[in-house]
Amino acid sequence: MKQCPKCGLNKKIDEFYFLRNPKARAGGYYMRICKKCSYARGKKWRSENLERSRETESKSRKRLRVRRRLAWLAARIEFGKMCPTCGLNKKLDEYQIRKSARDGRSSECKICINKKKKIWVANNHEYVLQDSRRRNKKMVSNLGPCYVKRIIKKKYKIPFEDTSKDMIDRERDIITINRMLKEKHKCQ
Ligand SMILES: [Zn+2]
Ligand SMILES: [Zn+2]
């Protein structure tokens, strides 16, 4: 039993709020006044400080939202989610990265996306071919890193992963000079 100094009544301990505080010896402490009195005091304070009470309320609501979101995300990471296309529950790393999504991953799993992509490519064969040709042309004229790497591999038998940025830059200069010489030759 504990006496509330506000209403003067003796009440059971669970009629007092327990305030958690990890620094306190018992992990927290009971409020001096009972639940009923502290509720009445809070109500009175809110009616007298409307502006500030609204402010703290919106702040605490915001905190709650953040906490809920973090809990939701933690659950997503631990248990994964269901792919709506194949109906299987999969871990997040089996989904593609999508920054705009709430959990940062695509809604469909990688396998389903790849399947759909394959079907699309088969149905749009002509377009894909043209697009790859167009891209290739662009890469050749811009001397993109992939194109230069391919040339280095052909010329010096150096695999892709061993080509450094310096090598690419040097080879790019050589190609540029050769192209210019060729152009000159054509003009003469
Ligand atoms: Zn009381
Ligand atoms: Zn799927």
Which pLDDT tens digit goes with each residue over 38-85?
999 999 999 999 999 999 999 999 999 999 999 999 999 999 999 999
How many domains would you assign to the chain?
2
172 Cα: distance to centroid of ligand 2 (angstroms)? 43
Structure tokens belonging to residue 120: 């699309």
54 Cα: distance to centroid of ligand 2 (angstroms)? 45
163 Cα: distance to centroid of ligand 1 (angstroms)? 78
Q: Which residues pair with 18 in a beta bridge?
A: 30
48 Cα: distance to centroid of ligand 1 (angstroms)? 21
Residue matched to tokens 């639940």 = 35
pTM summary value: 0.48
Structure tokens belonging to residue 27: 């992990």
Residue 31: CB atoms within 10 Å = 14
98 Cα: distance to centroid of ligand 2 (angstroms)? 16
- Residue 184 is predicted with a pLDDT of 80
- Residue 144 is predicted with a pLDDT of 87
Within a domain: 128: no
Extract the residue ranges of the chain whose pLDDT is less than 50.
none
Structural domain of 3: 1-48
- Residue 47 is predicted with a pLDDT of 93
Within a domain: 69: no
- Residue 25 is predicted with a pLDDT of 83
In the three-class reduction of DSSP (H, G, I as helix; E, B as strand; rest coil), residue 86 is classed as coil
Within a domain: 42: yes
- Residue 18 is predicted with a pLDDT of 94
- Residue 118 is predicted with a pLDDT of 94
101 Cα: distance to centroid of ligand 2 (angstroms)? 17
Within a domain: 88: no
- Residue 188 is predicted with a pLDDT of 66
- Residue 183 is predicted with a pLDDT of 82
